[in-house]
Structure 1
């Protein structure tokens, strides 16, 4: 009796056709989109590689420059300027973004890890939001200082800028988290609206500052005050950098609906973001160029450079030597 039951069970187990289960599994697998580190641009990788190639400059130049800016701000913390907290946050975010570039290359060609790709997408979200928003905060600080000096003197307390920085960080991490999760409808238009608003604000602020500095010469004065002239040149230089970094995405991204979806995602977006991403190197270099003396460099090295420059400047060519 037991043998007959065992035979029946074995016969039943062998005669059960597994094909419907396998067919269902194959069908479900066919509907699942396979993971790709190129985010759907496996056959159109030129734009992504262009962006990553540009970012190599951020690793070689931008990362050390941002670390140096952070060190200088910490060194000068006893005599800070009003924008130092914004500059420090911006330099920290740019340095973090620069450290993720090697992981991007490694994940594209070796790891192919979904978790690493999520971390890279988070860093892209941080860069997308922190750069424009903190630059807007710096422009706001300068705008109030030049055009409304009385109100600026009443708002010099650090708590106002710290609170604004916390708000910007919250917006940054919220945007970066949403970008990492993905799948949100029309999510690209959030960044398009953000970059349009911040770009317009920065242009208006800097043009207003330039107009106010130009107007402040006073009646009958042809020359601007040296400090105001220096500020005028710096704001003008920053305005040019803002236009170079943010004008391409401002011009390209609003016309997303006019591009084929694959062309926009694989070509237009990476090229537009490349102009924004290179700002991680340009911004700290602008700050360092404003300093009369860079800390942490030996005084002997600085003095030697000054001596060499002075000797080269005062050097008389042999043809101009007076006859003996």
Structure 2
């Protein structure tokens, strides 16, 4: 079953009228177009998905744009994973911009070409997120567990080549999804999400275990750089579990659900957790930053001084009141 077929954001075809000279049963009626596509009385899962997609529009777009801005300002001193983070932020911003177009096409345009374009955007989200996160995990995995090999592969050309390959796979998958009609095409996403989830879990658990052991005997504190890497990997692991575990746990058991239950509840809810990653991923990245590189230091110092003066004033008033 294709992604979000029950959601109004992923309807792939509109009801067609029978020809005037049809020879079919004259009592046959054309099913009217429904926003919920057969789930009119089971809308809870679809509404849950729609609410999270609206969050992507309001929060995800500015957050991803801010991530791209930070990466551009840090281009003189980049991290090895910045190219993967930039591609991920760009595809997430593109996907987050689609819901308003979906609403317009649902209630105004009714264009089949626009539906194909929307299916393409869902294909981009299905593929780019798991693959670019897998690339980030691979980069951190080599840096922590195989530092010598990581040093030999530190040149940007390797990451640029890997990013181009991921984008080619993403566009190929999205193009096939927008065309539709391919037999068992939905199994491709199920296999992809299972494989990438397993890979990311193995990488991150191995990294966390290695960083924990690296403190050495008698040392309670971790090295600052390793501590920073530990927090980064731990945040990625939380994203993986929260956003990718629901579809991984639900979708392989499609045959055990009734068609209505899977289409109206299981599939929209599972993809809702995947969709909201377009907001969670940039927010987690921004929360790890010590400062915004494009903000002047004087502005931050004034903010800190103002905050400190407010705290001092409160502390002064408290003893007087007592």
Q: What interval of TM-score do these two structures reach, taking the shorter chain for normalisation?
A: 0.7 to 0.9
Question: What's the CA shift string for 1:78-131, capped at 9, x where partnerless?
Answer: 221111110111000001001111111222233222111111111011001000
| Matched residue, 1:27 | 24
CA distance in 2, matches of 1:225, 1:30: 76
29 and 213 in structure 1: CA distance in 2 versus 1, 3 angstrom threshold: farther
CA distance in 1, matches of 2:150, 2:274: 30
Of residues 139, 154, 157, the one that matches 1:159 is: 157
Matches within 5 A, 1:186-265: 186-265=184-263
CA distance in 2, matches of 1:31, 1:178: 32
246 and 65 in structure 1: CA distance in 2 versus 1, 3 angstrom threshold: same
For residue 315 of structure 2, give the secondary structure of its aligned residue in structure 1: coil
Q: TM-score of the superposition, structure 1-length normalised?
A: 0.85
Give 1:52 deviation, angstroms: 1.9
CA distance in 1, matches of 2:155, 2:215: 29
- On the 8 A contact 1:55/1:101 being kept in 2, the answer is yes
| Matched residue, 2:83 | 85
Residues matched between the structures, number: 302
Matches within 5 A, 1:10-159: 25-27=22-24, 38=35, 40-41=37-38, 43=40, 44-159=42-157
- On the 8 A contact 2:36/2:43 being kept in 1, the answer is no
CA distance in 1, matches of 2:142, 2:201: 15
The gaps in structure 1 that reach 5 residues or longer are: 1-21
Give 1:37 deviation, angstroms: 7.4
The gaps in structure 2 that reach 5 residues or longer are: 1-18
CA distance in 2, matches of 1:163, 1:92: 17
197 and 29 in structure 1: CA distance in 2 versus 1, 3 angstrom threshold: farther
- On the 8 A contact 2:73/2:294 being kept in 1, the answer is no
39 and 123 in structure 1: CA distance in 2 versus 1, 3 angstrom threshold: farther
23 and 204 in structure 1: CA distance in 2 versus 1, 3 angstrom threshold: same
- On the 8 A contact 1:45/1:266 being kept in 2, the answer is yes
For residue 22 of structure 2, give the secondary structure of its aligned residue in structure 1: helix
Q: Which has the larger helix fraction?
A: 1
| Matched residue, 1:182 | 180
295 and 188 in structure 1: CA distance in 2 versus 1, 3 angstrom threshold: same
Which deviates further from its counterpart, 272-281 or 307-316? 307-316
Backbone CA RMSD of aligned residues: 2.6
Give 1:313 deviation, angstroms: 4.5
CA distance in 1, matches of 2:144, 2:214: 10
Question: What's the CA shift string for 1:188-242, capped at 9, x where partnerless?
Answer: 2211111111111111111111101100001221221222223222322221121
CA distance in 2, matches of 1:288, 1:34: 47
CA distance in 2, matches of 1:121, 1:53: 19
Question: What's the CA shift string for 1:35-55, capped at 9, x where partnerless?
Answer: 957584463554333212211
Which deviates further from its counterpart, 228-237 or 54-63? 228-237
CA distance in 2, matches of 1:231, 1:70: 21
For residue 316 of structure 1, give the secondary structure of its aligned residue in structure 2: helix
